[in-house]
């Protein structure tokens, strides 16, 4: 989507506040979803430089026409730069011209080699050993300066996620029809992807998972040429990008008669998902939502069968903050806030029996949550 100027203004203001708090007077944005969030730019390469009173978008030849059109709608909030040589040389030129002193980089994404190239370009001396303390101007590793703003969705993001969730939920009601005896996992995946295109998704948000029979016990199986047989559980995990935003959903369907062991697994996972959804409200720790699901599975003797986290944030990326998972030392355990959007997707995988996963997307509200992928008018 094109982001309205007022939204860009608000997002830039928040990120400038984050940069100030981190003690940097310039922020080099190289992570493309962050670039898209701040400017609306959707190319496959580009750099933004957020300064206290300007935001520069650096793009290469291929994107000059598209970027010029994009920024023409942004009230002068973003200005365009292009170049002949390389992004890093262009960035160094701009940083020198703007006389930035403490320059934040996105440490979670900027590779060591680019850090070195920018650092040595600024210092005009050799880059190794990396030693930020003697580099002037200073290149400062920062974390989450854009992400901490992105984690709370604004109104236009919520509208896109709600509509995407509604459309994906409508497809979920039809997927059991795709799973028929003798069809291959790949054919079912193709049906799901065609249904997503038909429903207005621009592309799959990730490689569709269709995992039948023994494959269902692999949490991240890829579709194979295996033909689905009566008695098989089939895990269908799929998502699409709607208006730039990712939604993600899993259903486990059963062809033919269900074994007792599988029925118990399904019941336990469904109960775990309900418990986690019921635990969502502002102020609750992410790990407490995970624990709600995990305790249910533990009570069913399935603690070992649930080896992944309970959920992940959704937005411009299909995996983003917040992470809904067990508490680990040194990993963040955010408190849930209104405007967060994430998946709730417990699963249980038992080799020899099969696997079950059930996933929906929720929006945290003032009082609890709204399930985006189970709207009654979905479709």
Binding site for a copy of itself (CB under 8 A): 42-44, 61-63, 65-66, 85-86, 105, 107-113, 115-116, 128-133, 141, 143, 186, 190, 193-194, 197, 202-204, 207, 217-222, 307-308, 328, 331, 351
Q: Which is nearer to a copy of itself, 129 or 283 (CB)?
A: 129
Q: How far is CA 149 from CA 17, 152, 330, in A?
A: 10, 6, 21
**What is the rounded distance in angstroms from the CA atom of residue 294 to the CA atom of residue 288?**
10
Cβ at position 374, least distance to a copy of itself in Å: 25
At residue 220, the 3 state secondary structure works out as: coil
Q: Which is nearer to a copy of itself, 75 or 109 (CB)?
A: 109
CB nearer to a copy of itself: give 88 or 364: 88
Instruction: Give the shortest CB-30-to-a copy of itself separation in angstroms.
Output: 10
217 vs 247 by CB, closer to a copy of itself: 217
In angstroms, give the least distance from the CB of 135 to a copy of itself. Answer: 9
- Within 13 Å of residue 10, how many CA atoms lie on the same side as its CB? 12
142, 155, 202, 274, 289 from 280: Cα distances, Å: 30, 20, 30, 10, 6
Q: How far is the CB of 233 from a copy of itself (least distance, A)?
A: 16
**Residue 177 beta carbon to a copy of itself: minimum distance, rounded to whole angstroms:** 19
Q: Do β-strands 138-142 and 102-106 pair in parallel, antiparallel, or remain unpaired?
A: parallel
For a copy of itself, which is the closer residue by CB, 111 or 283? Answer: 111
We find the least distance from the C-beta atom of residue 278 to a copy of itself, in angstroms, to be 26
Three-class DSSP labels, 52-103: CCCEEEECCHHHHHHHHHHHHCCCCCCEEECCCCCHHHHHHHHHHHCCCCEE
Of 37 and 349, nearer to a copy of itself (C-beta) is 349
Query: In this structure, what is the dihedral angle of CA atoms 26, 27, 30, 33, given to the nearest 10 degrees?
Result: -140
């Amino acid at each position: 989507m094109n982001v309205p100027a007022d939204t860009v203004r608000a997002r830039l203001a928040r990120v400038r506040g984050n940069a100030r708090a981190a003690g940097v007077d310039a922020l080099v944005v190289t992570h493309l979803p962050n670039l898209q969030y701040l400017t609306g730019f959707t190319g496959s390469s580009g750099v933004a430089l957020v300064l206290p009173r300007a935001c520069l978008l650096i793009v290469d030849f291929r994107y000059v026409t598209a970027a010029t059109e994009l920024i023409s709608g942004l009230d002068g909030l973003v200005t365009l730069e292009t170049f002949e040589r390389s992004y890093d040389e262009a960035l160094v030129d701009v940083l020198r011209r703007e006389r930035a002193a403490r320059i934040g980089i996105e440490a979670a994404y900027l590779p060591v080699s680019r850090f070195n190239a920018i650092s040595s370009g600024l210092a005009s001396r050799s880059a190794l050993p990396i030693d930020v303390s003697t580099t002037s101007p200073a290149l400062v590793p920062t974390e989450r300066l854009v992400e901490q703003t992105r984690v709370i969705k604004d109104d236009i993001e919520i509208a896109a996620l709600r509509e995407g969730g509604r459309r994906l939920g409508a497809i979920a009601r039809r997927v059991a029809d795709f799973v028929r005896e003798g069809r291959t996992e790949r054919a079912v995946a193709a049906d799901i992807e065609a249904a997503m295109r038909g429903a207005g998704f621009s592309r799959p948000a990730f490689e569709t998972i269709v995992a039948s029979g023994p494959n269902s016990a692999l949490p991240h199986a890829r579709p194979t040429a295996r033909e689905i047989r009566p008695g098989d559980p089939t895990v269908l995990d799929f998502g699409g990008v709607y208006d730039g935003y990712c939604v993600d959903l899993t259903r486990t369907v059963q062809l033919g008669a269900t074994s007792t062991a599988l029925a118990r697994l399904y019941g336990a996972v469904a109960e775990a998902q309900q418990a986690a959804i019921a635990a969502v409200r502002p102020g609750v720790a992410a790990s407490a939502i995970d624990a709600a699901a995990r305790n249910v599975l533990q009570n069913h003797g399935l603690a070992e069968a649930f080896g992944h986290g309970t959920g992940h944030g959704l937005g411009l990326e299909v995996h983003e903050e917040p992470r809904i998972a067990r508490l680990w030392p040194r990993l963040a355990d955010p408190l849930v806030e209104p405007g967060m959007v994430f998946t709730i997707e417990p699963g249980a995988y038992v080799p020899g029996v099969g696997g079950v996963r059930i996933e929906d997307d929720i929006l945290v509200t003032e009082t609890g949550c709204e399930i985006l992928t189970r709207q009654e008018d979905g479709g």
